């Protein structure tokens, strides 16, 4: 491998190095799912605010359990409507889940463990320990406590916690703005009647989907011919939109009609690198135009998809402050077929996942790995990752995969 080809890890490191987290904005909690917190959230109240019952039953003093005459029922405590008095010797209060525990009580007897006599007195049928069935004040969190940290992704549980801490709005990192340009004289839009020399432009749909899943707002600037002036027009449109990342599709190789690099160069792009030791996806451009980052993806659909997964999605997450942005989640599996030694590029092979009779996870590469085959991609549940120069592998050996979640 010549020095002109960067390793995947070095390329990702260079893409993510020096990333500055985007500015924050406050948004309603109802709109915050999937967003990343820009700063930690402090609880604005204590939860629960007082000692409350964890069960339906009777609040009592455990020292009165042995009273042979039972306990005198003096009132009721319900959620939102607590008992206002104090619990005295030999007394009990009917209590419901979430209701405040009366002053003086130190346990809640389950209702099924209590017997009510004809005179209305309550007779415990089982013992209960002090503190049992009571959720103490501040059990979940206390006022001023930092319960959610900066960089946390707000999923359903985190949204519920933020709401419980009394936050109607949350500070999140602004979504990165992504512009996509697809170039090629052969491309036409879906729904048209393409001629024999044309192909349907499909890459932008996968790339935009992966970008949105990573948290970006996407602007599709459309199709551009293999013409230097037209490509420069598209680049200028992206700059005018003040996007954070310009993603180009196609035109990144070295053919006579691959004009993307010259177009970017004339606009003043600072090129970092443009070839990667990976399959699929060798021709990949990375650079910058002022504050706008440039990621030039290959034109073949699967190559564009894999490069988006490996490079674009981590960059989008890093711009939002995701501390695990550089980590690609890999897991072990057992290979389903024999494979020869790998060559000089890291290989990302589309693979089906199954289970054998011992419930082991089996990864079987698709029979055709051409980077234009989308059908193979849709029928795969994982990418089998083989390192550059990896030795031959035999069916049943361990391998590494990246799951494709859809």
When pLDDT is cut at 50, 70 and 90, the band that residue 1 belongs to is very low
Q: Which architecture characterizes domain 8-22+174-319 according to CATH?
A: 3-Layer(aba) Sandwich (3.40)
Q: Find out if CATH 2.40.340.10 is the number for domain 331-403.
A: yes
- Average of per-residue pLDDT across 196-209: 93
Residue closest to 54 by CA, chosen among 134, 139, 129, 136? 134
| In the chain, domain spans | 8-22+174-319, 24-47+140-173, 52-135, 331-403
Indicate the CATH number for domain 52-135: 2.170.190.11
What lies within 8 Å, CB to CB, of 378 at 6+ separation is: none
pLDDT score of 32: 97
pLDDT score of 110 more than 90: yes
What pLDDT does residue 258 have?
A: 65
pLDDT higher than threshold 80 for residue 2:
no
Tell me the average pLDDT across 23-38: 96
What CA–CA distance (Å, rounded) separates 92 from 94? 7
Stated pTM of the model? 0.85
Structure tokens at 84: 């206002």
- Count Cβ atoms below 10 Å from residue 61 Cβ, excluding itself: 20
CATH class of 24-47+140-173: alpha beta
Greater model confidence, 291 or 255 = 291
Both ends of the chain: CA-CA distance in Å?
A: 34
Residue 233 DSSP one-character state: H
Q: Note whether 8-22+174-319 and 52-135 share their fold.
A: no
Q: Tell me the pairing of strands 114-116 and 169-173.
A: unpaired
The 10s digit of each residue's pLDDT in 368-383 is 999 999 999 999 999 9
pLDDT digits (tens, 9 = 90+) for 272-286: 998 899 999 888 999
Q: Residue 314 has what pLDDT?
A: 96
Residue 42 has pLDDT above 80, yes or no: yes
User: What's the DSSP call for residue 267?
Assistant: H
Condensed to tens digits (0 to 9), the pLDDT of residues 149-172 reads 999 999 999 999 999 999 999 999
């Amino acid at each position: 491998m010549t020095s002109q080809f960067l390793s995947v890890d070095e390329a990702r490191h260079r893409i993510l190095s020096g990333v500055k987290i985007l500015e924050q904005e406050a948004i309603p909690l109802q709109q915050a799912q999937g967003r990343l917190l820009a700063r930690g959230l402090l609880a604005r109240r204590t939860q629960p605010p007082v000692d409350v019952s964890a069960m339906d039953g009777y609040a009592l003093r455990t020292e009165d359990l042995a009273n042979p005459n039972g306990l005198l029922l003096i009132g009721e405590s319900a959620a939102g409507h607590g008992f206002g008095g104090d619990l005295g010797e030999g007394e009990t209060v009917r209590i419901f889940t979430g209701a405040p525990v009366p002053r003086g009580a130190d346990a809640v007897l389950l209702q099924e463990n209590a017997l009510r006599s004809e005179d209305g007195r309550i007779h415990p049928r089982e013992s209960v320990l002090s503190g049992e069935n009571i959720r103490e004040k501040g059990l979940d969190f206390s006022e001023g406590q930092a319960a959610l940290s900066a960089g946390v992704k707000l999923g359903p549980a985190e949204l519920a916690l933020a709401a419980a801490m009394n936050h109607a709005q949350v500070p999140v990192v602004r979504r990165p703005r992504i512009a996509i340009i697809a170039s090629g004289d052969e491309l036409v839009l879906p729904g048209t009647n393409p001629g024999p020399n044309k192909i349907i432009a499909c890459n932008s749909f996968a790339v935009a989907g992966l970008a949105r899943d990573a948290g970006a707002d996407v602007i599709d600037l459309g199709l551009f011919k293999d013409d230097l002036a037209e490509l420069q027009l598209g680049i200028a449109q992206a700059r005018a939109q003040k996007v954070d990342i310009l993603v180009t599709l196609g035109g990144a190789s070295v053919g006579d009609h691959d004009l993307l690099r010259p177009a970017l160069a004339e606009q003043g792009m600072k090129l970092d690198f443009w070839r990667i030791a990976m399959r699929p996806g060798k021709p990949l451009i990375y650079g910058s135009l002022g504050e706008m980052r440039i990621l030039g993806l290959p034109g073949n659909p699967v190559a564009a998809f894999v490069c988006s997964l490996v490079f674009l999605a981590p960059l989008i997450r890093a711009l939002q402050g995701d501390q695990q942005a550089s980590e690609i989640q890999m897991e072990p599996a057992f290979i389903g077929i024999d494979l020869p030694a790998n060559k000089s590029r890291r290989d990302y092979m589309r693979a089906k996942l199954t289970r054998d009779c011992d419930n082991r996870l089996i990864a079987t590469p698709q029979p055709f790995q051409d980077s234009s085959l989308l059908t193979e991609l849709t029928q795969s549940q994982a990418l089998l990752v083989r390192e550059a120069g990896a030795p031959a592998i035999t069916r049943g050996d361990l391998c590494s995969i990246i799951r494709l979640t859809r």
